Structure 1
Amino acid sequence: MTITDSTTTASPVDVLNTFFEKLGAGDLPGLLDVIDENVDWKAAGDPRVPWTGQRHGRAAAGDFLASLGQYTEPVSFTVDRVLGDADTAVAVGAFAHRVLGTGKTFESEFVIQIGVVDGCIVRYRIFEDSYAVGQAFLPDNQG
């Protein structure tokens, strides 16, 4: 008798597509399911923006994701392309969000790069127009 392993691990492209699906649905628990317990998470940018900076661990990544909904509302979000190899996926797209505290809208193209091990995100990087994001958080008399 031959025993074969019938379990398959999702490809990095599949993981990133699932991430976007859960993000679009506002499914934070579903998002956390594809994030490794020890994820290395980074969103560079203006320190006045609540979600910027380096984070470590699933709970910290969850804080990042929750803060998006706490401080902004989505206006638009498109993914133009997702590419990947054995352990990395990259998405290219654009978004616009409105900052709830100022009413200002910011727009940016983005690149998200993830590293994946065993079907979970172990490394997350987002590259966006962090200047535009920071300006949208400033009151009118400061921007």
Structure 2
Amino acid sequence: MTRTTRETATGWFSALTSGDADRALSYLADDIEWVNYTPVPGYNDRMPWIGTCHGPSAVLDSLKVFLGMVEVGTEELVELIIEGDRAMGVIREKSVVKETGQTFEIEFIQSLTVRDGKIVHWKSYTDPSQILRAIDGRAA
């Protein structure tokens, strides 16, 4: 039996916010397109985990880069909207850039497209200025 969009999205966000990477990765389709912002040279390219990748192993590599730079404090799902094969979740995150010790707090949107119980397209939206400030070592 294939999971519904709601079951897939709630499972994904539950795994994500609890830090269960293996379970989170199990929700990704083999052909996932993962779009984590668009790099803009001279602006957000100091976030080396951003960009587009394809397939769960490339997603995992991207997440490893992120976790190598950032210690995630808390992530909380604050809103979830589901319609058809699409889901959008608003996540509140509070984390620390390891190198500078600076914290950042953001809200970001994850947009999911689900097919056959797996996430086939994932895209993230946020204002990265708080992350960039923390990477640069500037206090809030």
- Aligned sequence identity (%): 26
TM-score by length of 2: 0.85
Kindly indicate whether the alpha-carbon contact (under 8 Å) linking 1:11 and 1:86 is maintained by their aligned counterparts in 2: no
Alpha-carbon distance, 1:120 to partner? 0.7
Report the residue type matching 1:88 in the other structure. Answer: R
Q: CA 1:14 to 1:68, structure 2 compared with 1: closer, same or farther past 3 Å?
A: farther
Q: CA 1:133 to 1:101, structure 2 compared with 1: closer, same or farther past 3 Å?
A: same
Match of 1:25 in 2: 18
1:14-66 CA distance string (max 9 Å, x none): 21221122223332222221101111111115111121111111111112223
1:34 and 2:30 aligned: no
Kindly indicate whether the alpha-carbon contact (under 8 Å) linking 2:97 and 2:103 is maintained by their aligned counterparts in 1: yes
Alpha-carbon distance, 1:125 to partner? 0.7
1:78 and 2:73 aligned: no
Q: CA 1:66 to 1:57, structure 2 compared with 1: closer, same or farther past 3 Å?
A: same
Distance 1:68 1:118 in 2: 28
Distance 2:107 2:24 in 1: 22
1:66 and 2:59 aligned: no
Distance 1:41 1:91 in 2: 15
Kindly indicate whether the alpha-carbon contact (under 8 Å) linking 1:43 and 1:54 is maintained by their aligned counterparts in 2: yes
1:133 and 2:126 aligned: no
Q: CA 1:91 to 1:127, structure 2 compared with 1: closer, same or farther past 3 Å?
A: same
Q: In terms of Rg, which structure is larger? A: 1
Match of 1:13 in 2: 6
Question: How large is the Cα RMSD of the aligned pairs?
Answer: 1.7
Distance 1:74 1:52 in 2: 16
1:124 and 2:122 aligned: yes
Structure 1 runs not aligned, ≥5 long = 1-6
Alpha-carbon distance, 1:139 to partner? 4.1
